[in-house]
Structure 1
Amino acid sequence: MELPFAESYRIKAVEAIKRSTRIEREQWIKEANYNLFALKSDYVFIDLLTDSGTGAMSDRQWSAMMLGDESYAGARSYYNLKDTVKEILGFNYFLPAHQGRAAENILFSAIIRKGNILPGNSHFDTTKGHIEFRQAVALDCTIEEANHTQLEVPFKGNVDVVKLEKVLKHYPREKIPAVVLTVTNNTAGGQPVSMENIKAVAALCNKYGVLLLIDAARFAENAYFIKTREPGYADKSIKEIVREMFSYADMMTMSAKKDAIVNIGGFMAFRSEELWKSCKKFCIMNEGFITYGGMSGRDMNALAVGLDESTEFDYLETRIRQVEYLGLRLDEYSIPYQRPAGGHAIFVDAKQVLPNVPREEFIAQTLGIELYMEAGIRGVEVGALLADRDPTTRENRYPALELLRLAIPRRTYTNNHMDVVAVALKNVYDRRDKITKGYSITYEEPIMRHFTVELERSE
Structure 2
Amino acid sequence: MTEPTFRTIIEPFRIHSVEPLRMNTRAQRHKALEAARYNLFKVDADDVLIDLLTDSGTGAMSRDQWAALQRGDESYAGSPSFRVFKDAVQRLFPFTHVIPTHQGRAAERIIFSVLGGPGRVVPNNTHFDTTRANVEYTGAEAVDLVISEGRDPSSRHPFKGNMDIDGLERLLEARADDVPVIFVTVTNNSGGGQPVSLANLREIRRVADAYGKPVFIDACRFAENAWFIRTREDGQQDRDVADIVREMASLADGMTMSAKKDPMGNIGGWLALNDDELAERCRDMLILTEGFPTYGGLAGRDLEALAQGLTETVQHDYLTYRIRSTEYVGNSLREIGIPVLTPIGGHAVYIDARAMLPHIDPLEYPGQALAVALYETGGVRACEIGTVMFGRQPDGTEKPAAMDLVRLAIPRRTYTQSHMDYVIEVAQHVCDRAAELRGFRITEQGSALRHFTASFAPL
Same fold (TM over 0.5): yes
Equivalent of residue 68 in structure 2, options 48, 64, 67? 64
Query: Contact 2:9/2:324 (CA < 8 Å) preserved in 1?
Result: no
**Which sits farther off after the overlay, 347-356 or 34-43?**
347-356
Query: Residue 328 of structure 2 aligns with which residue?
Result: 325
Candidates 402, 414, 426, aligned match of 1:424:
426
Report if the CA contact (8 A) 1:444-1:452 is conserved: yes
> Does the CA contact (< 8 Å) of 1:380 and 1:406 recur in 2?
yes
1:181 to 176, 181, 184: 184
Out of 10, 13, 19, the position equivalent to 1:15 is 19
Give the whole-Å Cα distance in 2 for the aligned partners of 1:277 and 1:388. Answer: 36
- Confirm or deny that 1:290 pairs with 2:293: yes
Structure 1 match to 2:91: 87
Q: What's the CA shift string for 1:12-60, capped at 9, x where partnerless?
A: 0110112211111111101100000000000000000000000000111
Deviation at 1:295, TM superposition (A): 0.2
**What is the root-mean-square deviation in Å for CA atoms of aligned residues?**
0.9
Match of 2:127 among 123, 126, 131: 123
SS at match of 1:244: helix
In structure 2, distance between residues paired with 1:277 and 1:433: 56
Question: Which segment is superposed worse, 331-340 or 125-134?
Answer: 331-340
Please tell me the residue identity of whatever aligns with 1:376. G
Hey, what's the Cα distance between the residues in 2 that align with 1:210 and 1:329?
43
- Partner in structure 2 of residue 402 of structure 1: 404
Identity, % of aligned positions: 46
Question: Which shows bigger deviation, 369-378 or 354-363?
Answer: 354-363
Contact in 2 for aligned 1:35/1:452 (Cα 8 Å): yes
List per-residue Cα deviations over 1:82-107 (Å, max 9, x = no partner): 11111111112110000000011111
SS in 2 for 1:404: strand
The Cα offsets for residues 421-451 of structure 1, whole Å up to 9 and x where unpaired, read as 111111111111222x211111101111000
Residues 112 and 134 in structure 1, CA contact (< 8 A), matched pair in contact too: yes
1:287-344, Cα deviation, whole Å (9 max, x unpaired): 0000000000000000011111101111111111111010121022111111010010
Deviations 1:185-211 (A, max 9, x none): 000000000000011011111111111
Tell me what 1:209 maps to: 212
Q: Runs ≥4 in structure 1, deviation > 3 angstroms?
A: 1-5
Shift of 1:2: 3.6
Query: Which amino acid letter does the alignment assign opposite residue 364 of structure 2?
Result: E
Structure 2: which amino acid aligns with 1:338?
L
**1:224 aligned partner:** 227
User: Per-residue deviation at 1:253?
Assistant: 0.4
Q: Which moved more, 1:70-79 or 1:395-404?
A: 395-404
Equivalence for 2:443? 442
Alignment of 1:172 onto 2:161: no
Superposed displacement of residue 172, structure 1:
3.1
Pick from 252, 257, 277 the counterpart of residue 254 of structure 1.
Answer: 257
Question: Structure 1 unaligned runs (5+)?
Answer: none
Distance in 2 (alpha carbons) for counterparts of 1:17 and 1:121: 38
TM-score, normalised on structure 2?
0.98
Contact between 2:116 and 2:139, CA under 8 Å: does it hold in 1? no
Partner of 1:107: 111
* Counterpart-to-counterpart distance in 1, 2:14 and 2:169: 48
Q: Does 1:73 align with 2:77?
A: yes
Q: How many residues align?
A: 455
| TM superposition shift of 1:388 | 4.0
